Amino acid sequence: MVEKSAVSSARPVMTRNTDGPVDRTASGRPTSARIAGRIEVVDGLRFLAALMVVTFHLIALPKAWNAPPEELFPVLRLPAAYGWLGVELFFLVSGFVICMSSWGRSLGDFFVSRVARLYPAYLFGILATTGVLVLVADGLERLSIKDILMNLTMLQEPLGARHVDGVYWTLWVELRFYLLFSVVVWRGLTYRRAVAFCFVWAAAAVLMSQADNGPLKHLVMPDYCWYFIAGIGFYLMYRFRPTLLLTLMVVGSFLAAHQSTLRRQGTAEKYLGTQIPEWPTTMLVAAFFIVMALIATGRLSWIRGKWLVVAGALTYPLYLLHENIGWEVIGVFEGDIPALLLVSVLVAALLLASWLVHRLIERPGTRWLRTHLRAAVLEARTGLAEVDNRSRREDQAPSSTAGPTTVAGDVTVAERPAATGVS
């Protein structure tokens, strides 16, 4: 839910790759020369997923209104009741984009990119939501200072604190995916390693699906992993080509995801206060996979437009801000403004606020955080190198007075090429 897609949507030059199938993104030219633009349709998918979640929270849930939503929105309520599936779409897109953006990066690069991408808008969302809850009298329950401070870490769920906003639970799912995928990034992301990671994760999920709840099952995420695995498979199709192995991986993920999603529908129905048919859930999940397959095979590369890039930029702030703030606004104006008009104006205001957060908070915050985190990672790397080299020099000192020598294959800090920095 929190990624930006930034690779060429044009079909790249084909070159040989000993790691797996033909790599269609490698051209031998500088990266800037072969990246012609964004996969803009992926930005559009992220925005669609956010709007689905927004409609679920602001239209379908009885918690948002004093009157039954089916009376206030006789046409929109049932479609909006399936908006919770936007989260599944987020996870599917996330697997694609994280695999894409991690290719060729070191573990330090991966850490910097994830922290810089997630935290600026997230921290602002905590402050904004908390401020609204404080200002609105007789509104939603306010959290304790301890819980709010725990939320600043983004680790409130494993630390046992309540979420400032209920939608934050998905961020912990994303963080667990990043933690697992960082193992592949640390080893160096390749076709074979990505495929092996997906099959190992899938096997672990199957084995843990019937196990009692515990730390390992919590990490493996047998209910959500299938969307991330499928997203990785779709990106491998895009970068290389569709193969029988990748097709089986994606189809298997769809079947497993479908079953876990039907189980999750029961949780959604508890919040809705009513049962809804299962067949639309099946159709929507299938549609998500079909669209991603069309993207992976280049059949949607014609869908382009600056508005898609803008929509993608609004996705993360909109997701962070809409739920509790939206409910508070509805609670204040519900009796004075017709429901449909109120929701329309509210969503428009949230979109405007999201654009302002993106321009004034997220972009400069991400730049600042990325710069300082890169410097910190580089300092840690060179600092460790200095310690290692000092130890080697001390070990060699008794047997030589000619000064420190460079062991074959080792590089001193002064000789270390500039490319060791985070790029």
DSSP string, 128-168: HHHHHHHHSTT-SPPPPHHHHHHHTTT-TTTTTPPPSSGGG
Q: What is the pLDDT of residue 23?
A: 72
Q: Which residues contact 328 (CB under 8 A, 6 or more apart)?
A: 132, 133, 136, 139, 140
Q: What is the pLDDT of residue 379?
A: 84
Of 54, 133, 73, which is closest to residue 329 (Cα–Cα)?
133
CA dist 260 → 56, 208, 230, 257, 267 (Å): 20, 13, 14, 5, 11
The span from the CA of 221 to the CA of 224, in Å, is: 6
Which positions of the chain have pLDDT values less than 70? 1-19, 22, 24-37, 384-423
Contact predicate 65/279, CB 8 Å? no
CA dist 148 → 84, 118, 142, 168 (Å): 25, 17, 10, 12
Contact predicate 84/59, CB 8 Å? no
Q: Which residues contact 215 (CB under 8 A, 6 or more apart)?
A: none
